[in-house]
């Protein structure tokens, strides 16, 4: 009898051990299969823009539903890419498109500020293509532009030209037109001074341009590229103005104030005590952006 009980106990233990293995061999339920295909991922592509191809990638959020999209715009020349923010935004349910403007970081074509403005429009158009939107599980009716430094400048230009953009966030937005206006001396002297400043930022990742040609382009478009000239076009949308201790805060705050005075009730401002790259405030920067995006979403 004792032996029989021992055999039964051994049989029961072996059955319990085997059960998980047997369960793993069951066919996957249809819903489980759907979930498996909707995991977070990264897609790479080249986006056509006016005869050039821009190297790009999309951080695709988990889930089958169409996701709102952030286009993350890098600065000049683009050393800080803010891809840590992209990862955080994806975890919060956003697709994030990052690309290199024509003529920058290996993308074909020539770099210029005017070309980069066109490139933002090309990136938006790429997301609005029905095939691309379906493949990326993206909702092209919910696009937000988030830009750092020159990327902030591009966000202002891009959204001002496209009323369907839901909102913009500027991280130390660089108002090149305002900067040029602050330079002393004659126009040629101001162009030379701005060229020297751009050269200090680093021209190596850029092709088809010089610091002088870029400065001259700012001089030629100063009146139409300034942030203040875009207030009327943006005053109906959410705008997040983030500043640091890098010297750009006065102009960015003046832009925020002008938006508020024009009737924009969805202007948010934040100052973080850090450098231009937000080197020691990455967690705080990300948390603030996610909170703002949740309200826009």
Structure tokens given for 281:
């405030």
Q: What is the pLDDT of residue 228?
A: 98
DSSP state for residue 185 in the 8-state scheme = S
Phi, psi of 23 (to 5 degrees): -65, -35
- DSSP string of 63-123, one letter each residue: SSSPEEEEEEE--SS-S---HHHHHHHHHTT-EEEEEPPTTBTT-SS---HHHHHHHHHHH
- Percent of the chain residues topping a pLDDT of 90: 87
Q: What is the pLDDT of residue 68?
A: 98
Can you tell me the distance from the alpha carbon of 128 to that of 122, in angstroms, rounded to the nearest whole number?
10
Can you tell me the distance from the alpha carbon of 77 to that of 100, in angstroms, rounded to the nearest whole number?
10
Q: What is the pLDDT of residue 35?
A: 52
Can you tell me the distance from the alpha carbon of 239 to that of 264, in angstroms, rounded to the nearest whole number?
9
Identify which of 176, 178, 145, 162 has the alpha carbon closest to the alpha carbon of residue 74.
Answer: 145
- Given a contact cutoff of 8 angstroms between Cβ atoms, the answer to whether 198 and 211 are in contact is yes
- Map tokens 């697709």 to a residue: 95
For residue 46, the cross-strand partners are 55
The string of pLDDT tens digits covering residues 85-126 is 999 999 999 999 999 999 999 999 999 999 999 999 999 999
DSSP state for residue 237 in the 8-state scheme = S
The string of pLDDT tens digits covering residues 173-229 is 999 999 999 999 999 999 999 999 999 999 999 999 999 999 999 999 999 999 999
Domains of the chain: 41-296 (3.40.50.1820)
Q: Supply the pTM of this predicted model.
A: 0.87
pLDDT at 234 over 70: yes
Can you tell me the distance from the alpha carbon of 121 to that of 214, in angstroms, rounded to the nearest whole number?
20
Can you tell me the distance from the alpha carbon of 185 to that of 187, in angstroms, rounded to the nearest whole number?
7
- Map tokens 């286009």 to a residue: 71
- Given a contact cutoff of 8 angstroms between Cβ atoms, the answer to whether 234 and 169 are in contact is no
């Amino acid at each position: 009898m004792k032996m029989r009980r021992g055999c039964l106990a051994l049989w029961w233990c072996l059955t319990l051990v085997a059960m998980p293995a047997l369960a793993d061999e069951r066919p996957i339920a249809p819903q489980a299969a759907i979930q498996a295909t909707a995991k977070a991922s990264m897609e790479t592509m080249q986006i056509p823009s006016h005869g050039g191809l821009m190297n790009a990638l999309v951080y695709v959020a988990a889930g089958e539903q169409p996701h709102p999209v952030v286009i993350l715009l890098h600065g000049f020349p683009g050393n800080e890419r803010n891809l840590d923010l992209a990862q955080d935004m994806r975890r919060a349910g956003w697709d994030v498109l990052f690309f290199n403007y024509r003529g920058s970081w290996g993308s074909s074509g020539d770099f210029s500020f005017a070309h980069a403005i066109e490139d933002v429009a090309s990136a938006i158009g790429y997301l609005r293509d029905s095939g691309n939107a379906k493949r990326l599980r993206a909702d092209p009716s919910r696009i937000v532009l988030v830009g750092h430094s020159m990327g902030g400048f591009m966000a202002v230009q891009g959204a001002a030209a496209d009323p369907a953009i839901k909102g913009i966030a500027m991280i130390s937005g660089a108002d090149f037109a305002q900067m040029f206006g602050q330079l002393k001396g004659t126009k040629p002297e101001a162009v030379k001074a701005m060229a020297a400043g751009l050269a200090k930022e680093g021209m190596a990742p850029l092709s088809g341009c010089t610091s002088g040609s870029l400065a001259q382009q700012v001089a030629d478009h100063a009146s139409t590229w300034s942030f203040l000239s875009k207030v009327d076009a943006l005053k109906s949308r959410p705008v997040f103005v983030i500043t640091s201790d890098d010297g750009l805060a006065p102009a960015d705050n003046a832009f925020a104030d002008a938006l508020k005075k024009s009737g924009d009730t969805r202007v948010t401002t934040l100052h973080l005590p850090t450098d231009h790259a937000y080197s020691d405030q990455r967690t705080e920067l990300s948390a603030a952006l996610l909170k703002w995006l949740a309200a826009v979403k």
